[in-house]
Amino acid sequence: MTELHELDAHDLAATLRRREVSAAEVVDHQADRIAALDDRLRSFVTPTIDRALEQAGAIDLTGDAGDAFAGVPIAVKDLTSTAGVRTTMGSTLMADAVPDVDAHVVRLAREAGLVSLGKTNTPEFGLSSYTDNDVLGATSTPWRLGLNAGGSSGGAAAAVAAGLVPWALGSDGGGSIRIPSSCCGVVGLKPTRGRVSPGPLGSDWSGLASDGPIARTVRDVAALLDVLAVPQLGDARYVGGPGRFAGAAARDPRPLRIAAWADPYLPGIETDPRIRAVWEDALRLLASLGHEVEVVANPFPPELEPQFNVAWSSGMAAAPIPPEADPLLRRNTRYWRERGARHSAADLAGAMQFLEATTRQALTGLGEHDAFLTPTLAMLPQPHAWFTESDDPAESHHRELQFTPFTAVYNMAGIPAGSLPLGQVDGLPVGIMLGGHQGSDALLLSLMAQLEAAAGWSTLPIDPRR
């Protein structure tokens, strides 16, 4: 008999609508699983089971599920503001911070009837491509304890992979949805810039970051994007209208022309040959589905990286943290704050102009292609200490670049990109990344769903006790 935690959001919602189980029973089941597994994973910073039971009870009392996914559990990344629930941002400086305002995406999820089971782990202020902090510690991929879940939405991806929730809210400023999705063998999408509102208090001033969905199936990712892609008054970059992504994921795309590359854009960094082999399998699978695949040189120049770092570090330097609190920050955070403080306003303006002009040129060169295919990561999941053992923060940063040299260019360009699990190496999942031009989220989800079906990837959760 299939257990509740083995169902994706669609199947769990159908079970709830048939009244084979109550929303409160679903919360109780997931709470028991969190209690049994999460001391090993460390995916939840703050579980909110009592609040979830109260919300689920209210849904059960209506006698009618109403919204299609009413009663389905979700989790929220601990960078995302949640009224009445502490939001630590992975920092001991904010260990007791309790916002009084919900982020727009949190409100949308609640209004759709989704029941939050709590806040998921993230590195301090979401700065790293691995998840580790001084609030909870490091989050493991459920596939192998002791190997990092990736970051910065590591807690969200680990919780989904382990069946603690069927889907979760993540955010992505340089790969932070796609990196942990690859490490944890789940599906994650960074939407087009402006697709998801950062309101009411958030600001995507640099254009790099976006909230987005993480789930075990493409259809769940698409449905959650439908929930999230609703504008708020004041949005400066809103793109498109809501309500079309689930439909796109339910149908195959037309034959597409796809550009593919597996070499990082940064010199001296190489892709693990075993990961490259999974990418090559994906090329053949796409061709068998009738798509035209062309292997090209990586179109993004290495000069993007230092300019990205200007924008990344400037944002951290602008955070309202008093100087006397600096010793309480993790070394990685201090490194980015110190780098950002050295940049002038002219440096930042020049960097932003360079990122826009250079990525535009690269995408213009790809104008005859509908989508792009690369590995998500250049390396397999790594031990927690591999990211943190160096005494030199510049060396630690270089290791992160070795780990994830493909993802950030999609943030620089503002275009959609998703990670899809398509293989395994040494018992660990390998994600393949698909990207597209601005606004092509629906087409991308259609292609991802087609690949998912053809590959036959298992969506069942991983149990770290095995």
Compute the distance between CA of residue 399 and CA of residue 264 in angstroms, rounded to an integer.
14
Query: 3-state DSSP call for residue 282?
Result: helix
Quick count: other Cβ atoms within 10 Å of Cβ 276?
16
Backbone φ/ψ region at 419: left (φ over 0), alpha (ψ -120 to 50), beta: beta
Q: Which residues pair with 4 in a beta bridge?
A: none
The residue annotated as part of the active site, out of 43, 116, 128, 152, is 152
Please report, in angstroms and rounded to a whole number, the separation of the first and last CA atoms in the chain.
Answer: 19
| CA distance linking residue 291 with residue 256, whole number of Å | 5
- Residue 241 to residue 376: CA distance in whole angstroms: 28
**Measuring CA to CA, which residue among 41, 172, 161, 55 is closest to residue 114?**
55
* Closest by Cα among 412, 401, 409, 408 to 378: 401
Contacts of 274 (CB under 8 A, 6+ apart): 380, 425, 426, 430
Helix/strand/coil (H, E, C) string of 179-206? HHHHHHCCEEEECCCCCCCCCCCCCCCC
Asked whether the beta carbons of 227 and 181 are under 8 A apart, the reply is no
Number of other residues whose CB lies within 10 A of the CB of residue 244: 16
176 is catalytic: yes
Reading the block at residue 59, the tokens are 């849904």
Which residues are CB-contacts of 288 (< 8 A; sequence separation ≥ 6)?
Answer: 454
Name the DSSP letter for residue 252.
P
Given 176, 206, 419, 446, the catalytic residue: 176
Q: Work out the angle at residue 451's Cα, subtended by the Cα atoms of residues 446 and 454, and round it to the nearest 5 degrees.
A: 125
Q: Is 152 a catalytic residue?
A: yes
Q: Which of 77, 91, 182, 313 is catalytic?
A: 77
Distance CA 463, CA 139 (A): 15
Decide: 459 and 222 in contact? Cβ < 8 Å: no
272 and 380 Cβ atoms separated by less than 8 Å: yes
Q: Among all residues, which ones are annotated catalytic?
A: 77, 152, 176
